[in-house]
Structure 1
Amino acid sequence: MKCNTLSLLLALAACSQIPDARSPAPSTSASTAAAASALPAIEPGILSQYHWQLSDAFDSKGMRIDALFVSAEKPVQLEFSADRLNVVNSCNNMGASYSVKKGRLQIGQMVSTMMACPDAARAALDEAIAQRLHGSLGVSLLARGNTPRMQLAADSGDTLTFTGVPTAQTRFGGPGETTFLEVAAQAVQCQHPLVPDKQCLLVRERRFDEQGLPTGTPGEWQPLYQDIEGYTHTPGIREVLRVKRYTIKNPPADAPAIAYVLDMVVESEKVKN
Protein backbone atom coordinates (compact mmCIF):
# COMPACT_ATOMS: atom_id res chain seq x y z
CA MET A 1 0.00 0.00 0.00
CA LYS A 2 1.41 3.40 -0.97
CA CYS A 3 1.66 5.90 1.93
CA ASN A 4 2.37 9.56 2.51
CA THR A 5 5.00 10.86 4.97
CA LEU A 6 4.40 13.49 7.64
CA SER A 7 7.13 16.13 7.63
CA LEU A 8 6.24 18.20 10.71
CA LEU A 9 8.28 16.27 13.29
CA LEU A 10 6.31 13.10 12.63
CA ALA A 11 8.41 9.99 12.16
CA LEU A 12 5.68 7.54 11.38
CA ALA A 13 6.52 4.21 9.85
CA ALA A 14 3.41 4.27 7.66
CA CYS A 15 0.30 6.32 7.10
CA SER A 16 -3.28 6.16 5.92
CA GLN A 17 -5.58 8.41 3.96
CA ILE A 18 -7.92 10.39 6.20
CA PRO A 19 -11.62 9.90 5.52
CA ASP A 20 -13.49 12.94 4.25
CA ALA A 21 -15.34 14.82 6.99
CA ARG A 22 -18.65 13.93 5.33
CA SER A 23 -17.93 10.22 5.29
CA PRO A 24 -19.86 8.16 7.84
CA ALA A 25 -18.06 6.39 10.64
CA PRO A 26 -17.63 2.61 10.45
CA SER A 27 -20.96 0.83 10.91
CA THR A 28 -19.72 -1.62 13.54
CA SER A 29 -17.33 -1.46 16.45
CA ALA A 30 -15.51 -4.52 15.09
CA SER A 31 -14.65 -2.79 11.83
CA THR A 32 -13.52 0.31 13.73
CA ALA A 33 -11.20 -1.72 15.93
CA ALA A 34 -9.81 -3.62 12.95
CA ALA A 35 -9.09 -0.39 11.06
CA ALA A 36 -7.39 1.13 14.09
CA SER A 37 -5.13 -1.86 14.65
CA ALA A 38 -3.98 -1.76 11.03
CA LEU A 39 -2.75 1.83 11.34
CA PRO A 40 0.80 2.81 12.40
CA ALA A 41 1.89 2.81 16.02
CA ILE A 42 2.47 6.09 17.83
CA GLU A 43 6.03 6.97 18.70
CA PRO A 44 6.76 8.25 22.23
CA GLY A 45 6.34 12.01 22.68
CA ILE A 46 4.48 12.68 19.44
CA LEU A 47 1.16 13.43 21.17
CA SER A 48 2.63 16.25 23.28
CA GLN A 49 3.95 18.06 20.18
CA TYR A 50 0.44 19.14 19.08
CA HIS A 51 -2.79 20.67 20.29
CA TRP A 52 -5.41 18.10 19.20
CA GLN A 53 -8.65 19.83 18.15
CA LEU A 54 -11.81 17.78 17.63
CA SER A 55 -12.88 17.93 13.99
CA ASP A 56 -15.23 14.92 13.57
CA ALA A 57 -17.13 12.54 15.83
CA PHE A 58 -19.45 9.73 14.73
CA ASP A 59 -21.26 6.96 16.54
CA SER A 60 -21.51 3.32 15.42
CA LYS A 61 -24.43 4.18 13.09
CA GLY A 62 -22.52 6.91 11.29
CA MET A 63 -24.40 9.72 13.02
CA ARG A 64 -22.50 12.82 14.03
CA ILE A 65 -22.18 13.24 17.82
CA ASP A 66 -23.50 16.80 18.01
CA ALA A 67 -23.17 17.00 21.79
CA LEU A 68 -19.39 17.29 21.36
CA PHE A 69 -19.64 20.40 19.14
CA VAL A 70 -20.81 23.37 21.21
CA SER A 71 -18.55 26.14 19.85
CA ALA A 72 -16.97 26.27 16.39
CA GLU A 73 -14.54 28.95 17.62
CA LYS A 74 -13.41 26.86 20.61
CA PRO A 75 -13.56 23.17 19.71
CA VAL A 76 -12.84 20.45 22.25
CA GLN A 77 -9.07 20.18 22.46
CA LEU A 78 -6.78 17.56 23.99
CA GLU A 79 -3.40 18.44 25.51
CA PHE A 80 -0.92 15.66 26.31
CA SER A 81 2.04 15.93 28.67
CA ALA A 82 4.36 13.06 29.61
CA ASP A 83 1.62 11.13 31.44
CA ARG A 84 -1.32 13.51 31.71
CA LEU A 85 -4.22 14.27 29.38
CA ASN A 86 -6.11 17.57 29.79
CA VAL A 87 -9.30 18.66 28.06
CA VAL A 88 -9.49 22.27 26.86
CA ASN A 89 -12.65 24.24 25.98
CA SER A 90 -14.97 22.12 28.08
CA CYS A 91 -17.07 23.84 30.75
CA ASN A 92 -15.08 22.45 33.68
CA ASN A 93 -11.37 21.72 33.83
CA MET A 94 -11.02 18.03 33.02
CA GLY A 95 -8.01 15.72 33.05
CA ALA A 96 -6.82 12.15 33.50
CA SER A 97 -3.71 10.02 33.44
CA TYR A 98 -2.97 8.13 30.23
CA SER A 99 -0.58 5.71 28.55
CA VAL A 100 -0.22 4.22 25.06
CA LYS A 101 0.24 0.46 24.78
CA LYS A 102 0.01 -1.71 21.66
CA GLY A 103 -2.04 0.78 19.68
CA ARG A 104 -4.45 1.49 22.54
CA LEU A 105 -4.83 4.71 24.50
CA GLN A 106 -5.43 3.80 28.14
CA ILE A 107 -7.19 6.66 29.95
CA GLY A 108 -7.53 6.73 33.74
CA GLN A 109 -10.37 8.13 35.80
CA MET A 110 -11.38 11.56 34.47
CA VAL A 111 -11.14 14.25 37.17
CA SER A 112 -13.19 17.42 36.79
CA THR A 113 -13.87 20.64 38.66
CA MET A 114 -17.47 21.18 39.77
CA MET A 115 -18.15 24.64 38.34
CA ALA A 116 -21.73 25.33 37.24
CA CYS A 117 -22.05 25.51 33.45
CA PRO A 118 -23.80 28.60 32.00
CA ASP A 119 -26.09 26.66 29.66
CA ALA A 120 -27.45 23.17 29.08
CA ALA A 121 -25.31 22.55 25.99
CA ARG A 122 -22.09 23.14 27.92
CA ALA A 123 -23.24 20.95 30.78
CA ALA A 124 -24.01 18.19 28.27
CA LEU A 125 -20.59 18.72 26.64
CA ASP A 126 -18.73 17.77 29.81
CA GLU A 127 -20.81 14.62 30.19
CA ALA A 128 -20.36 13.69 26.52
CA ILE A 129 -16.58 14.06 26.81
CA ALA A 130 -16.37 12.01 30.02
CA GLN A 131 -18.46 9.23 28.46
CA ARG A 132 -16.06 8.83 25.54
CA LEU A 133 -12.65 9.59 27.01
CA HIS A 134 -12.23 6.72 29.43
CA GLY A 135 -10.89 3.19 29.53
CA SER A 136 -9.17 1.69 26.49
CA LEU A 137 -9.48 3.34 23.07
CA GLY A 138 -7.92 2.41 19.76
CA VAL A 139 -5.57 5.24 18.77
CA SER A 140 -3.94 5.94 15.42
CA LEU A 141 -2.23 8.79 13.59
CA LEU A 142 -3.24 9.67 10.06
CA ALA A 143 -1.76 12.16 7.62
CA ARG A 144 -3.07 14.47 4.92
CA GLY A 145 -0.16 16.46 3.56
CA ASN A 146 1.68 17.95 6.53
CA THR A 147 -1.35 17.99 8.84
CA PRO A 148 -1.53 15.17 11.39
CA ARG A 149 -4.84 13.66 12.43
CA MET A 150 -5.48 11.43 15.42
CA GLN A 151 -8.37 8.99 15.56
CA LEU A 152 -9.75 7.50 18.78
CA ALA A 153 -11.97 4.44 18.34
CA ALA A 154 -14.11 3.12 21.20
CA ASP A 155 -15.33 -0.46 21.40
CA SER A 156 -18.87 0.98 21.30
CA GLY A 157 -18.22 2.14 17.73
CA ASP A 158 -17.77 5.86 18.46
CA THR A 159 -14.93 7.37 16.42
CA LEU A 160 -13.42 10.76 17.26
CA THR A 161 -11.03 12.52 14.89
CA PHE A 162 -8.70 15.32 16.03
CA THR A 163 -6.59 17.68 13.93
CA GLY A 164 -3.09 18.41 15.22
CA VAL A 165 -1.99 22.04 15.58
CA PRO A 166 1.75 22.34 16.38
CA THR A 167 2.54 23.69 19.83
CA ALA A 168 4.78 26.72 20.19
CA GLN A 169 7.60 24.46 21.34
CA THR A 170 7.22 22.39 18.17
CA ARG A 171 7.06 25.45 15.92
CA PHE A 172 10.05 27.21 17.47
CA GLY A 173 12.13 24.09 18.04
CA GLY A 174 12.69 24.32 21.79
CA PRO A 175 11.05 24.61 25.20
CA GLY A 176 11.36 28.40 25.43
CA GLU A 177 12.06 30.48 28.52
CA THR A 178 9.40 31.27 31.12
CA THR A 179 9.15 34.94 32.04
CA PHE A 180 6.56 37.32 33.51
CA LEU A 181 5.33 40.51 31.85
CA GLU A 182 3.16 43.14 33.47
CA VAL A 183 0.90 44.83 30.92
CA ALA A 184 -0.21 48.38 31.68
CA ALA A 185 -3.90 49.23 31.57
CA GLN A 186 -3.53 51.45 28.51
CA ALA A 187 -1.58 50.93 25.31
CA VAL A 188 0.70 53.68 24.02
CA GLN A 189 1.36 55.10 20.60
CA CYS A 190 4.64 53.86 19.17
CA GLN A 191 6.58 54.32 15.96
CA HIS A 192 6.40 51.65 13.30
CA PRO A 193 7.71 52.12 9.73
CA LEU A 194 4.77 50.24 8.17
CA VAL A 195 1.89 50.95 10.58
CA PRO A 196 0.87 54.60 11.09
CA ASP A 197 -0.46 55.44 14.56
CA LYS A 198 0.46 51.99 15.85
CA GLN A 199 -0.57 51.21 19.42
CA CYS A 200 1.82 49.08 21.47
CA LEU A 201 1.36 47.31 24.77
CA LEU A 202 3.30 48.96 27.59
CA VAL A 203 5.07 46.20 29.50
CA ARG A 204 7.71 45.59 32.12
CA GLU A 205 9.31 42.39 33.41
CA ARG A 206 8.32 41.01 36.81
CA ARG A 207 9.87 38.32 39.01
CA PHE A 208 8.26 35.87 41.42
CA ASP A 209 9.74 33.39 43.88
CA GLU A 210 8.89 29.67 44.19
CA GLN A 211 5.90 30.52 46.41
CA GLY A 212 4.51 32.85 43.75
CA LEU A 213 5.31 36.03 45.70
CA PRO A 214 6.73 39.12 43.96
CA THR A 215 10.48 39.50 44.36
CA GLY A 216 13.12 41.93 43.19
CA THR A 217 12.54 45.23 41.45
CA PRO A 218 10.26 45.33 38.37
CA GLY A 219 11.91 46.25 35.09
CA GLU A 220 11.47 49.53 33.27
CA TRP A 221 8.22 50.18 31.40
CA GLN A 222 8.71 49.98 27.66
CA PRO A 223 6.52 49.56 24.57
CA LEU A 224 6.30 46.07 23.10
CA TYR A 225 6.44 46.34 19.32
CA GLN A 226 4.91 42.91 18.70
CA ASP A 227 1.91 40.84 19.76
CA ILE A 228 1.82 38.25 22.52
CA GLU A 229 0.45 35.13 20.89
CA GLY A 230 -2.79 34.00 22.52
CA TYR A 231 -3.32 37.27 24.42
CA THR A 232 -5.92 39.98 23.79
CA HIS A 233 -5.58 43.16 25.81
CA THR A 234 -8.65 44.93 27.18
CA PRO A 235 -8.15 48.69 27.66
CA GLY A 236 -8.38 49.65 31.31
CA ILE A 237 -7.21 46.24 32.56
CA ARG A 238 -3.75 45.84 34.08
CA GLU A 239 -2.50 42.27 33.94
CA VAL A 240 0.52 40.17 34.82
CA LEU A 241 1.17 37.40 32.31
CA ARG A 242 3.28 34.28 32.46
CA VAL A 243 4.65 33.87 28.97
CA LYS A 244 7.03 31.65 27.07
CA ARG A 245 9.78 33.49 25.24
CA TYR A 246 11.17 31.80 22.14
CA THR A 247 14.11 32.67 19.92
CA ILE A 248 13.09 32.76 16.26
CA LYS A 249 15.66 31.17 14.00
CA ASN A 250 16.45 33.17 10.86
CA PRO A 251 13.67 35.78 11.22
CA PRO A 252 12.72 37.85 8.16
CA ALA A 253 14.26 41.29 7.79
CA ASP A 254 12.69 43.88 10.13
CA ALA A 255 10.85 41.08 11.99
CA PRO A 256 11.39 40.39 15.71
CA ALA A 257 13.88 37.71 16.70
CA ILE A 258 11.85 36.88 19.83
CA ALA A 259 8.32 35.46 20.07
CA TYR A 260 6.09 35.70 23.14
CA VAL A 261 3.38 33.11 23.74
CA LEU A 262 0.84 33.42 26.57
CA ASP A 263 1.03 30.67 29.18
CA MET A 264 -1.42 32.04 31.74
CA VAL A 265 -2.82 35.27 33.24
CA VAL A 266 -1.43 35.60 36.78
CA GLU A 267 -3.08 38.87 37.86
CA SER A 268 -5.89 40.96 36.40
CA GLU A 269 -7.04 44.31 37.77
CA LYS A 270 -9.40 47.00 36.49
CA VAL A 271 -7.69 50.38 36.70
CA LYS A 272 -9.67 53.61 37.11
CA ASN A 273 -8.78 56.48 34.83
Structure 2
Amino acid sequence: MNPRMLLLLLPLALAACTPPDENPPGAENTATVPAAPAAEPAAPPAATTATTGGSAMLAGHRWKLDTATDAQGKRIDALFPGPKNVLTLSFDDGNLGVSGGCNRQGGSYELDAQNQLKVGALRATMMACDAPLMQADAAIGKLLSQPQQARVEVSAPPRLHLVSAGGENSTWIGEATAETRFGGPGERVFLEVAPQRVACNHPLIPNHQCLQVREVKFDDKGIRQQPPGEWQPLYEDIEGFEFREGTRTVLRLDKFKRDPVPADASSIVYVLDMVVESETVPAGK
Protein backbone atom coordinates (compact mmCIF):
# COMPACT_ATOMS: atom_id res chain seq x y z
CA MET A 1 0.00 0.00 0.00
CA ASN A 2 1.29 3.46 -0.86
CA PRO A 3 1.95 5.10 2.51
CA ARG A 4 1.08 8.48 1.03
CA MET A 5 -2.52 7.43 0.43
CA LEU A 6 -4.75 8.03 3.40
CA LEU A 7 -8.21 6.51 3.52
CA LEU A 8 -10.81 8.91 4.88
CA LEU A 9 -12.39 7.42 7.98
CA LEU A 10 -14.41 10.18 9.61
CA PRO A 11 -17.04 12.65 8.29
CA LEU A 12 -15.47 15.40 6.15
CA ALA A 13 -15.55 18.72 8.01
CA LEU A 14 -16.71 21.88 4.82
CA ALA A 15 -6.65 45.76 -0.53
CA ALA A 16 -6.46 51.94 0.36
CA CYS A 17 -3.18 52.60 -0.93
CA THR A 18 -1.88 53.12 2.53
CA PRO A 19 1.40 51.77 3.79
CA PRO A 20 1.26 48.02 4.05
CA ASP A 21 1.07 48.11 7.83
CA GLU A 22 -2.10 50.24 7.91
CA ASN A 23 -5.54 48.71 8.15
CA PRO A 24 -7.95 49.14 5.21
CA PRO A 25 -11.50 50.44 5.69
CA GLY A 26 -13.46 48.92 8.52
CA ALA A 27 -10.41 47.60 10.31
CA GLU A 28 -11.44 49.09 13.61
CA ASN A 29 -14.92 47.57 13.46
CA THR A 30 -14.47 45.39 11.81
CA ALA A 31 -7.80 6.81 -11.59
CA THR A 32 -9.03 3.65 -9.54
CA VAL A 33 -6.44 1.55 -7.67
CA PRO A 34 -6.52 -2.06 -8.94
CA ALA A 35 -7.78 -4.62 -6.49
CA ALA A 36 -5.09 -6.79 -4.95
CA PRO A 37 -4.93 -10.41 -6.12
CA ALA A 38 -7.15 -12.74 -4.15
CA ALA A 39 -4.18 -14.79 -3.03
CA GLU A 40 -2.53 -11.71 -1.54
CA PRO A 41 -5.19 -9.28 -0.32
CA ALA A 42 -4.17 -5.76 0.51
CA ALA A 43 -3.76 -5.13 4.19
CA PRO A 44 -6.22 -2.62 5.62
CA PRO A 45 -4.79 0.88 6.13
CA ALA A 46 -3.65 1.91 9.56
CA ALA A 47 -6.24 4.17 11.17
CA THR A 48 -3.92 6.41 13.13
CA THR A 49 -3.04 9.76 11.60
CA ALA A 50 -5.38 9.07 8.66
CA THR A 51 -8.41 9.75 10.81
CA THR A 52 -7.38 13.17 12.09
CA GLY A 53 -4.91 14.28 9.42
CA GLY A 54 -7.07 13.24 6.45
CA SER A 55 -10.25 14.85 7.71
CA ALA A 56 -8.51 18.05 8.80
CA MET A 57 -6.79 18.31 5.42
CA LEU A 58 -10.07 17.80 3.58
CA ALA A 59 -11.92 20.49 5.52
CA GLY A 60 -8.91 22.82 5.25
CA HIS A 61 -8.94 22.81 1.45
CA ARG A 62 -11.19 23.56 -1.48
CA TRP A 63 -11.00 20.80 -4.06
CA LYS A 64 -10.86 21.73 -7.75
CA LEU A 65 -11.73 19.12 -10.36
CA ASP A 66 -8.66 17.94 -12.27
CA THR A 67 -9.72 14.77 -14.09
CA ALA A 68 -12.93 12.80 -14.51
CA THR A 69 -13.57 9.67 -16.55
CA ASP A 70 -16.53 7.33 -16.96
CA ALA A 71 -16.54 3.59 -16.37
CA GLN A 72 -14.97 3.05 -19.82
CA GLY A 73 -12.14 5.51 -19.12
CA LYS A 74 -13.56 8.27 -21.34
CA ARG A 75 -13.34 11.88 -20.17
CA ILE A 76 -16.63 13.24 -18.85
CA ASP A 77 -16.66 16.44 -20.90
CA ALA A 78 -19.78 17.89 -19.27
CA LEU A 79 -17.86 18.32 -16.01
CA PHE A 80 -15.44 20.73 -17.71
CA PRO A 81 -17.47 23.77 -18.88
CA GLY A 82 -14.39 25.89 -19.67
CA PRO A 83 -11.01 27.12 -18.37
CA LYS A 84 -12.60 29.94 -16.34
CA ASN A 85 -15.12 27.65 -14.67
CA VAL A 86 -13.71 24.78 -12.64
CA LEU A 87 -16.00 22.68 -10.47
CA THR A 88 -14.98 22.90 -6.83
CA LEU A 89 -15.99 20.96 -3.71
CA SER A 90 -15.85 22.27 -0.16
CA PHE A 91 -16.59 20.40 3.07
CA ASP A 92 -17.77 22.13 6.20
CA ASP A 93 -19.43 20.66 9.28
CA GLY A 94 -21.38 17.91 7.54
CA ASN A 95 -22.26 20.02 4.51
CA LEU A 96 -20.87 19.65 0.98
CA GLY A 97 -20.74 22.71 -1.28
CA VAL A 98 -20.35 22.69 -5.06
CA SER A 99 -19.34 25.76 -7.07
CA GLY A 100 -17.81 26.54 -10.45
CA GLY A 101 -20.84 25.78 -12.61
CA CYS A 102 -23.80 28.06 -13.12
CA ASN A 103 -25.37 27.68 -9.68
CA ARG A 104 -24.04 27.08 -6.22
CA GLN A 105 -25.19 23.70 -4.94
CA GLY A 106 -25.07 22.18 -1.50
CA GLY A 107 -26.31 19.34 0.64
CA SER A 108 -25.50 17.16 3.57
CA TYR A 109 -23.05 14.29 3.36
CA GLU A 110 -21.84 11.38 5.41
CA LEU A 111 -19.04 8.84 5.23
CA ASP A 112 -20.09 5.34 6.22
CA ALA A 113 -18.08 2.55 7.79
CA GLN A 114 -17.09 1.28 4.34
CA ASN A 115 -15.55 4.68 3.54
CA GLN A 116 -18.24 5.61 1.06
CA LEU A 117 -19.11 9.27 0.69
CA LYS A 118 -22.88 9.65 0.44
CA VAL A 119 -24.32 13.02 -0.49
CA GLY A 120 -27.89 14.02 0.23
CA ALA A 121 -30.18 15.79 -2.23
CA LEU A 122 -28.44 18.91 -3.50
CA ARG A 123 -30.13 22.30 -3.19
CA ALA A 124 -29.19 24.95 -5.77
CA THR A 125 -29.63 28.59 -6.64
CA MET A 126 -31.89 29.25 -9.63
CA MET A 127 -29.80 31.21 -12.12
CA ALA A 128 -29.82 30.54 -15.85
CA CYS A 129 -26.50 30.43 -17.70
CA ASP A 130 -24.97 29.32 -20.98
CA ALA A 131 -25.49 25.66 -21.86
CA PRO A 132 -22.01 24.40 -20.82
CA LEU A 133 -22.47 25.73 -17.29
CA MET A 134 -25.97 24.33 -16.96
CA GLN A 135 -24.71 20.97 -18.23
CA ALA A 136 -21.90 21.03 -15.67
CA ASP A 137 -24.45 21.57 -12.89
CA ALA A 138 -26.47 18.59 -14.07
CA ALA A 139 -23.39 16.38 -14.53
CA ILE A 140 -21.93 17.00 -11.08
CA GLY A 141 -25.34 16.50 -9.50
CA LYS A 142 -25.69 13.15 -11.26
CA LEU A 143 -22.18 12.09 -10.24
CA LEU A 144 -22.62 13.00 -6.58
CA SER A 145 -26.00 11.27 -6.40
CA GLN A 146 -24.03 8.00 -6.35
CA PRO A 147 -21.99 6.75 -3.38
CA GLN A 148 -18.32 7.63 -3.80
CA GLN A 149 -15.33 5.71 -2.49
CA ALA A 150 -13.07 8.47 -1.14
CA ARG A 151 -9.39 8.75 -0.34
CA VAL A 152 -6.85 11.57 0.04
CA GLU A 153 -3.39 11.48 -1.51
CA VAL A 154 -0.96 13.39 0.66
CA SER A 155 1.10 15.25 -1.92
CA ALA A 156 1.93 18.84 -2.84
CA PRO A 157 -0.75 19.81 -3.58
CA PRO A 158 -2.95 17.12 -2.00
CA ARG A 159 -5.39 15.19 -4.17
CA LEU A 160 -8.81 13.79 -3.41
CA HIS A 161 -9.76 10.66 -5.35
CA LEU A 162 -13.41 9.68 -5.74
CA VAL A 163 -14.69 6.49 -7.37
CA SER A 164 -18.44 6.32 -7.89
CA ALA A 165 -20.64 3.28 -7.59
CA GLY A 166 -21.06 3.45 -11.38
CA GLY A 167 -17.32 3.30 -12.01
CA GLU A 168 -16.63 6.99 -12.68
CA ASN A 169 -13.24 8.20 -11.45
CA SER A 170 -12.55 11.80 -10.51
CA THR A 171 -9.51 13.53 -9.04
CA TRP A 172 -9.70 16.86 -7.22
CA ILE A 173 -6.70 19.07 -6.36
CA GLY A 174 -6.68 20.72 -2.93
CA GLU A 175 -6.13 24.43 -2.42
CA ALA A 176 -5.74 25.61 1.18
CA THR A 177 -8.59 27.75 2.47
CA ALA A 178 -7.99 31.22 3.85
CA GLU A 179 -8.69 29.88 7.34
CA THR A 180 -5.89 27.36 6.86
CA ARG A 181 -3.48 29.91 5.39
CA PHE A 182 -4.06 32.56 8.04
CA GLY A 183 -4.48 30.30 11.05
CA GLY A 184 -8.12 30.70 11.94
CA PRO A 185 -11.50 32.16 10.99
CA GLY A 186 -11.75 35.67 9.62
CA GLU A 187 -13.94 38.58 10.68
CA ARG A 188 -17.16 38.98 8.63
CA VAL A 189 -17.48 42.44 7.02
CA PHE A 190 -19.37 44.03 4.11
CA LEU A 191 -17.72 46.37 1.62
CA GLU A 192 -19.26 48.27 -1.28
CA VAL A 193 -16.98 48.47 -4.32
CA ALA A 194 -17.31 51.54 -6.55
CA PRO A 195 -17.74 51.02 -10.32
CA GLN A 196 -14.42 52.71 -11.15
CA ARG A 197 -10.90 52.28 -9.83
CA VAL A 198 -8.97 55.32 -8.59
CA ALA A 199 -5.33 56.35 -8.87
CA CYS A 200 -3.39 55.52 -5.72
CA ASN A 201 0.17 55.73 -4.47
CA HIS A 202 1.33 52.11 -4.40
CA PRO A 203 4.85 51.94 -2.88
CA LEU A 204 6.02 49.37 -5.45
CA ILE A 205 3.75 49.72 -8.49
CA PRO A 206 3.88 53.01 -10.45
CA ASN A 207 0.58 54.42 -11.71
CA HIS A 208 -1.40 51.87 -9.75
CA GLN A 209 -5.20 51.87 -9.84
CA CYS A 210 -6.89 50.83 -6.59
CA LEU A 211 -10.37 49.59 -5.89
CA GLN A 212 -12.48 52.23 -4.16
CA VAL A 213 -14.47 50.81 -1.26
CA ARG A 214 -16.56 51.79 1.73
CA GLU A 215 -17.92 49.74 4.60
CA VAL A 216 -21.62 49.03 4.82
CA LYS A 217 -23.62 47.47 7.64
CA PHE A 218 -26.79 45.40 7.80
CA ASP A 219 -29.10 44.87 10.76
CA ASP A 220 -30.28 41.51 12.06
CA LYS A 221 -33.06 41.46 9.45
CA GLY A 222 -30.64 42.06 6.59
CA ILE A 223 -31.70 45.67 6.05
CA ARG A 224 -28.88 47.96 4.98
CA GLN A 225 -28.05 50.65 7.51
CA GLN A 226 -27.32 54.26 6.62
CA PRO A 227 -25.08 56.09 6.21
CA PRO A 228 -22.25 53.94 4.80
CA GLY A 229 -18.61 54.61 5.60
CA GLU A 230 -16.36 56.97 3.67
CA TRP A 231 -14.94 55.95 0.29
CA GLN A 232 -11.31 54.90 0.49
CA PRO A 233 -8.88 53.29 -1.95
CA LEU A 234 -8.00 49.68 -1.20
CA TYR A 235 -4.31 48.83 -1.24
CA GLU A 236 -4.70 45.39 -2.82
CA ASP A 237 -7.43 43.45 -4.58
CA ILE A 238 -9.97 41.20 -2.89
CA GLU A 239 -9.25 37.49 -3.11
CA GLY A 240 -11.84 35.69 -5.23
CA PHE A 241 -13.43 38.89 -6.57
CA GLU A 242 -13.25 39.86 -10.25
CA PHE A 243 -13.74 43.61 -10.63
CA ARG A 244 -15.78 44.79 -13.62
CA GLU A 245 -15.51 48.42 -14.68
CA GLY A 246 -18.89 50.11 -14.46
CA THR A 247 -20.38 47.65 -11.97
CA ARG A 248 -21.13 48.59 -8.38
CA THR A 249 -21.11 45.68 -5.96
CA VAL A 250 -21.65 44.96 -2.30
CA LEU A 251 -19.57 42.06 -1.05
CA ARG A 252 -19.69 39.86 2.02
CA LEU A 253 -16.09 39.26 2.98
CA ASP A 254 -13.91 37.55 5.53
CA LYS A 255 -11.13 39.78 6.83
CA PHE A 256 -7.83 38.23 7.91
CA LYS A 257 -4.65 39.68 9.39
CA ARG A 258 -1.28 38.72 7.96
CA ASP A 259 1.46 37.82 10.38
CA PRO A 260 4.19 38.37 9.39
CA VAL A 261 3.36 41.12 6.89
CA PRO A 262 5.24 40.96 3.54
CA ALA A 263 7.03 44.13 2.46
CA ASP A 264 4.85 44.43 -0.65
CA ALA A 265 1.45 43.69 0.90
CA SER A 266 -1.12 45.04 3.32
CA SER A 267 -1.47 43.70 6.83
CA ILE A 268 -5.14 42.97 6.04
CA VAL A 269 -6.50 40.46 3.52
CA TYR A 270 -10.09 40.43 2.30
CA VAL A 271 -11.48 37.15 0.93
CA LEU A 272 -14.78 37.04 -0.95
CA ASP A 273 -17.58 35.02 0.63
CA MET A 274 -20.44 36.12 -1.62
CA VAL A 275 -21.75 38.97 -3.80
CA VAL A 276 -24.69 40.59 -2.00
CA GLU A 277 -25.62 43.25 -4.56
CA SER A 278 -24.52 44.01 -8.11
CA GLU A 279 -25.67 46.67 -10.56
CA THR A 280 -24.39 48.33 -13.71
CA VAL A 281 -23.83 52.07 -13.27
CA PRO A 282 -23.94 54.47 -16.27
CA ALA A 283 -20.63 56.19 -17.02
CA GLY A 284 -20.16 59.43 -15.10
CA LYS A 285 -22.32 58.45 -12.15
- Report the TM-score, using the length of structure 2 for normalisation: 0.78
Q: Match of 2:187?
A: 177
Matches within 5 A, 1:136-155: 136-144=147-155, 146-155=156-165
- Equivalent residue letter for 1:182: E
Label 1:90 to 1:42 Cα distance change in 2 as closer, same or farther (>3 A).
farther
Q: Distance in 2 between matches of 1:128 and 1:239?
A: 31
Matches within 5 A, 1:1-273: 3-4=3-4, 25=32, 41-43=50-52, 44-102=55-113, 103-113=115-125, 115-119=127-131, 121-144=132-155, 146-215=156-225, 217-272=227-282, 273=284
Q: Distance in 2 between matches of 1:259 and 1:226?
A: 8
Label 1:254 to 1:132 Cα distance change in 2 as closer, same or farther (>3 A).
closer
> For each residue in 1:141-172, what CA deviation from the matched residue of structure 2 results, as whole angstroms up to 9, or x when unmatched?
0122x311111112222111111111111111
Q: Distance in 1 between matches of 2:276 and 2:128?
A: 23
Q: Match of 1:20?
A: none
- Equivalent residue letter for 2:79: L
Q: CA RMSD, aligned part only? A: 2.9
For 2:218, what is the secondary structure of its paired residue? Answer: coil
Q: Distance in 1 between matches of 2:263 and 2:129?
A: 47
Q: Distance in 2 between matches of 1:106 and 1:39?
A: 23
- Equivalent residue letter for 1:248: R
> For each residue in 1:191-249, what CA deviation from the matched residue of structure 2 results, as whole angstroms up to 9, or x when unmatched?
12322211111211111111111225322221111111112222222222111110101
Q: Distance in 2 between matches of 1:187 and 1:87?
A: 31
> For each residue in 1:100-123, what CA deviation from the matched residue of structure 2 results, as whole angstroms up to 9, or x when unmatched?
23322121123344544422x434
Identity over aligned pairs, percent? 42
- Equivalent residue letter for 1:53: K
Label 1:135 to 1:38 Cα distance change in 2 as closer, same or farther (>3 A).
farther
> For each residue in 1:61-117, what CA deviation from the matched residue of structure 2 results, as whole angstroms up to 9, or x when unmatched?
222222222212221111212111121122333222101233221211233445444
Q: Match of 2:19?
A: none
Deviates most, 99-108 or 162-171: 99-108
The structural deviation recorded for 1:270 is: 2.6
CA contact (8 A) 1:52 1:78 kept: yes
Q: Match of 2:22?
A: none
- Equivalent residue letter for 2:210: C
For 1:74, what is the secondary structure of its paired residue? Answer: coil
Q: Distance in 2 between matches of 1:13 and 1:25?
A: 13
Q: Distance in 2 between matches of 1:263 and 1:237?
A: 18
- Equivalent residue letter for 1:109: A
CA contact (8 A) 2:61 2:176 kept: yes
Stretches of structure 2 lacking an aligned partner (at least 5 in a row): 9-30
- Report the TM-score, using the length of structure 1 for normalisation: 0.81
Label 1:60 to 1:149 Cα distance change in 2 as closer, same or farther (>3 A).
same
CA contact (8 A) 1:27 1:62 kept: no
- Equivalent residue letter for 2:121: Q
- Equivalent residue letter for 2:3: C
Count of residues paired in the alignment: 252
Q: Distance in 2 between matches of 1:138 and 1:239?
A: 41
Q: Distance in 2 between matches of 1:195 and 1:174?
A: 30
Q: Match of 1:9?
A: none
Label 1:163 to 1:236 Cα distance change in 2 as closer, same or farther (>3 A).
same
CA contact (8 A) 2:194 2:249 kept: yes
Q: Distance in 2 between matches of 1:244 and 1:95?
A: 20
